[in-house]
Structure 1
Amino acid sequence: MPLRFEELDFQTTPMGEISLRRRYDPAAQQDVYEVRLGDEYLMSSLFTVAERELATLALARLDSPLARLDAPAGGLRVLVGGLGLGYTALAALADPRVGDVTVVEYSGPVLDWHRRELLPEAAGLATDPRCRLVQDDFFRRARAEPEVRYDAILLDIDHSPRHVLHPSHAAFYAADGLRAMSRHLADGGLFALWSDDPPDAPFEAVLGQVFAERSAHPVDFPNPITGGRSSNTVYLARGVTAR
């Protein structure tokens, strides 16, 4: 009989106590990997459709590698904000046009899980030659002067623009924060954001202050726990109106 529950790692961080757990879900009939921060569920391997779509929807809207002197020889350059269970980075690497993926993750334990290959579906991500895992604060980097420009920036850290993991993140989702981040995009580059909430018209309006094109894409997926369907949102934005 499968092991019903196992805590694979537990560590104390500046954001709170973070843990990685594996449990057998009888409804889904599979092992499920879950991350908790304190008493809050952050992510689950049971629901990964929208995390993958964050990459695939964004990259589908990009042409072949942009003609830049600093473009990687293999193709498109992608920045992923938030490593999590690794599904967004894996989806980006699955696109043959992608030559370089940099993943910025604040939490040392999360990076450690991948380097120790505690997550079977993401095994090999940390050693993929096209992928670089960096421990840093994505929001700090977004405010800093760009050293590199990316064809796509894919962000999945907070639950939504309104439900952030830390109060300091909130300023990013205002026009000034998004405009600072946009300096890290190459010409024609695209910003994509995952959200656990339905499309938010006021946030789309904020995107419209920075980008000429923006759209919200509900992503539906089956929920074996409820027996019904659930939905997340992926926002896409491109065409910076002003740096």
Structure 2
Amino acid sequence: MSARFEELDWRPTPIGDISLRRRREPTLGVDVYEIKLDDDFLMSSLFTVAEIELARLGLAALAGTGLDVAVGGLGLGYTAQAVLEDARVRSLVVLDTLGEVIEWHERELLPVGTRLMADPRCRLVRGDFFAMVSTDAGLDPETPGRRFHAVLVDIDHTPRNVLHPSHAALYTPAGLRRLAGHLTPGGVFALWSDDPPEEEFEAVLTEVFATSRAHVVTFPNPLTGGESANTVYVATTPA
């Protein structure tokens, strides 16, 4: 039997105090892992359906094998794990601005971390995804200028509700054009959002990419007894 509540780690960071905690959910009989930034909940292992679908929907838009994928935002690791479950994936670079989050996985404080660290295709990299997107060097410090078949992003709450003001530029036409420059022809950009599809952001995607679609992902909410929903945007560059 697990302890009812345990704070596994707490660290001050430049963007606020980040903490990892594990608690027992008695109604479900499971351990729940949660990441908080100050008083804001970033992720909970109770709600991972849409994070997994971010990977599945993004990769489903790609044909062929030998896929190179980048994920912006490590979090609890469920998007990265879902990427690695696709046998077509050749390599995965996962970027997170907080070294503390990467360390949690390296120390195997999170169940998914054990799987990520054991897969030779996967590399966890400390870096500011938004700053890296804006440079020609791109998303892989070991291979400047490298292009990816897919870039999957789960960092901000929504394109309009960002964790830091510096993130907002990504969701503009200019920002997404820079991101598209790091994709191969026919490459995929996919984005998780906590809100329903936003017409304004969909218009920006249409302006920049050859195709785009907003997928509404529904899942049961054990805390309310009802159903919740997130959005996964999937856009592709010209082939």
TM-score computed with the length of structure 2 as normaliser: 0.95
Structure 1, unaligned runs of 5 or more? 66-74
SS at match of 1:122: helix
Q: 2:223 aligns with which of 201, 206, 225?
A: 225
CA distance in 2 between partners of 1:21 and 1:167 (Å): 27
1:81 aligns to what? 72
Q: Deviations over 1:113-141 (max 9, x none)?
A: 00000011332312321001100000011
Residues 153-180 of structure 1 show CA distances to partners (whole Å, capped at 9, x for unaligned) of: 0000000101100011011100000000
**Equivalent-residue separation in structure 1 for 2:2 and 2:118 (angstroms):** 29
**Secondary structure of the corresponding residue to residue 207 of structure 1:** helix
Query: Which is further off, 110-119 or 123-132?
Result: 123-132
Choose the corresponding residue for 1:173, options 161, 171, 193: 171
Shift of 1:209: 1.1
* Deviation (angstroms), 1:26: 1.7
Q: Is the 8 A contact 1:87 1:122 kept in 2?
A: no
Distance between the aligned counterparts of 1:35 and 1:214, measured in 2? 31
Give the share of equivalent positions with the same residue, in percent: 59
Deviation at 1:27, TM superposition (A): 2.4
Q: Bigger shift: 80-89 or 20-29?
A: 20-29
Q: Which residue in 2 is equivalent to 1:71?
A: none
Verify: 1:113 aligned to 2:97, yes or no.
Answer: no
Q: Does 1:202 find its partner at 2:205?
A: no
Q: Is the 8 A contact 1:195 1:232 kept in 2?
A: yes
Q: Distance in 1 between matches of 2:115 and 2:151?
A: 22
The aligned residue for residue 101 of structure 1 is: 92
CA deviation string 1:12-36 (max 9, x = no partner): 1001100000000122221000000
Counterpart code for 1:172? L
- Corresponding pairs, count: 232
SS in 1 for 2:210: strand
Residue of structure 2 in register with 1:68 after alignment: none
Q: CA RMSD in A?
A: 1.2
**Distance (whole Å) between structure 1 residues aligned to residue 81 and residue 111 of structure 2:** 12
**Is residue 34 of structure 1 aligned with residue 25 of structure 2?**
no
1:234 and 2:238 equivalent?
no
CA distance in 2, matches of 1:28, 1:61: 35
Q: 2:152 aligns with which of 151, 154, 161?
A: 154
CA distance in 1, matches of 2:199, 2:74: 27
- Indicate conservation of the 8 Å contact 1:80/1:155, yes or no: yes
Query: Runs of 4 or more off by more than 2 Å in structure 1?
Result: none
Find the aligned partners of 1:105 and 1:204 in 2 and give their Cα distance: 26
Task: Write the distance in 2 (CA, Å) between the matches of 1:83 and 1:121.
Answer: 11
Once the two structures are TM-superposed, the CA of residue 240 in structure 1 deviates from its matched residue by: 4.7
- Structure 1 CA distance, aligned partners of 2:93 and 2:172? 24
What residue ranges of structure 2 are gaps of 5+ in the alignment? 139-144
Q: Which amino acid aligns with 1:187?
A: P
Residue of structure 2 in register with 1:185 after alignment: 183
Q: Counterparts of 1:128 and 1:77 in 2: how far apart (Å)?
A: 14
Contact 1:7 1:21 in 2 (8 A): yes
Please tell me whether the aligned partners of residues 27 and 225 of structure 1 are also in contact (alpha carbons under 8 angstroms).
Answer: no
Alpha-carbon distance between aligned partners in 1 of 2:93 and 2:101, rounded to the nearest angstrom: 15
Assess if the C-alpha contact under 8 Å between 1:28 and 1:225 holds in 2.
Answer: no
